[in-house]
Chain A
């Protein structure tokens, strides 16, 4: 190939070698150290002694089974992975070869965990050759970490906004109770699960008179009060919703015996019947409630249950208002 290979042969002094390869290790033909690059010397610290044997400095991880540098070179060709025995860095990757002539061996290695090594050995720019991509790798690692952090923060903020929007879409703004959409979802879920629950349909009595005589502000005041009463009388796992002007639906989850249902309904009616003070004036309304229970429906579907509760409510109104009727 080349007429005279020796013409292309370079002679390098140790200083130049150290500058271009701060992580090199030069061994004699027996595998004993002749020179260490300055950065590799920082890795090996006290172990970096001239004459030290390769296998005393490093444990070979790849190629498997190799111990001495000759075994490494013979088995791996030119690429190997080693760990310094002093345990200061996690691993080094490198290549090496026998130099022509007296059989000296030149190895050059690099850090597998660059950032970890810089951190644990407090390395600086001067410890790397200018052609190495150290700053680029560190730049990318940190830029990438900030982008990931920003995205994580953005995700959290968007999730918060989504939850708030969903909550808003399910809430009746005047009373703070759930709305029609929310109660439909709850009923649908409970019916599909064939759960045991009670459904109450409530309509205020004499509410139109309050609106007509005292104005809408008084009407809103009554509705807000009813909302507060329902929230206080029901548990967190229940659901109270305003589904129309003065129409409410309550879902009592997990129990439905008649006595409990009637007790809850009567307590709510009694509280609503207490006079509410609006601008120094007592306002009086009442409420009628129709109740159905899921265990009385052979095949509970939301629409049928609401229709049945509506019939019970009609019966309550018909029986003279201010009372609850349970339809079995």
Chain B
């Protein structure tokens, strides 16, 4: 999981801030090849360490950076794959929220070696949810916030997403049809 987060952070920093900043991060992180391979294994905790370095280099709180990485993963047109995989979660935004619990098991079908975080969703009231995520990676909770925020937008839902007590994310869905949902074809067009 560290590898996937590191690669996402790399793509986000490269696309948003340019190669000079990413070079600076890699230099401080002792990564002379300046690239993290999503299919290789890295020491557990490395993603958080490099995230902290990126926060220093970019002069922004690390929480904001991981949230942006989550949003970037869903909204970047070059990486439509992530958004599509998440949209397979369901027809509506609340279907999608419920599917988050199944996501680690689904991801493991495609990538058995993946140490996916545990995701727990509680429906605490009508249109009110609490989302928890257990992982050795601190940043992942924030990535999830970014992902959920961007997916709400994708489904056209208006919601209030906040961090509650004990690192739990609270989601209040205010309007499920606030805007037009972005188009989604079940099968990706050929080519």
- Cβ-closest chain B residue relative to A118: B187
A residues 21-35 near B (Cβ < 8 Å) are none
Distance in Å: Cβ of A111 to nearest Cβ of chain B: 11
Which of A119, A135, A140, A146 is within 8 Å of B109, CB to CB? A140
What is the CA–CA distance of A326 and B18 in the complex, to the nearest angstrom?
A: 60
Which of B35, B85, B189 is within 8 Å of A119, CB to CB? B189
Residues of A within 8 A of B39 (CB): 147, 150-151, 154
Residues of A within 8 A of B109 (CB): 140, 143
Taking a contact as CB atoms under 8 Å apart, the answer to whether B186 and A125 are in contact is yes
A-B pair number, CB within 8 angstroms: 59
Taking a contact as CB atoms under 8 Å apart, the answer to whether B37 and A119 are in contact is no
A residues 99-146 near B (Cβ < 8 Å) are 115-116, 118-119, 122-125, 134-136, 138-140, 142-144, 146
Q: Decide if A194 is an interface residue (CB 8 Å cutoff).
A: no
Q: Decide if A157 is an interface residue (CB 8 Å cutoff).
A: yes
Taking a contact as CB atoms under 8 Å apart, the answer to whether A147 and B110 are in contact is yes
Residues of A within 8 A of B85 (CB): 139, 142-143, 146
Distance in Å: Cβ of B7 to nearest Cβ of chain A: 9
Residues of B within 8 A of A150 (CB): 38-39
Residues of A within 8 A of B40 (CB): 154
Listed in ascending order, the chain A residues whose CB lies under 8 Å from chain B are 115-116, 118-119, 122-125, 134-136, 138-140, 142-144, 146-147, 150-151, 154, 157
Residues of A within 8 A of B107 (CB): 143
Residues of B within 8 A of A143 (CB): 85, 106-107, 109-111
Distance in Å: Cβ of B103 to nearest Cβ of chain A: 9
Interface flags, B85-125, vs A, CB<8A=1, else 0: 10011110000000000000011011100000000000000
A-B contacts, 27 listed (Cβ < 8 Å): A115-B187, A118-B185, A118-B186, A119-B189, A119-B190, A122-B185, A134-B186, A135-B186, A138-B88, A138-B186, A139-B106, A140-B109, A140-B110, A142-B85, A142-B188, A143-B109, A143-B111, A144-B110, A146-B110, A147-B39, A147-B110, A147-B111, A150-B39, A154-B37, A154-B39, A157-B35, A157-B37
B residues 151-191 near A (Cβ < 8 Å) are 185-190
Residues of B within 8 A of A123 (CB): 186-187
Residues of B within 8 A of A139 (CB): 85, 88, 106, 110
Residues of A within 8 A of B35 (CB): 157
Residues of A within 8 A of B188 (CB): 142
Q: Decide if B138 is an interface residue (CB 8 Å cutoff).
A: no
- Cβ-closest chain B residue relative to A145: B81
What is the CA–CA distance of A147 and B91 in the complex, to the nearest angstrom?
A: 25
Residues of B within 8 A of A146 (CB): 81, 85, 110
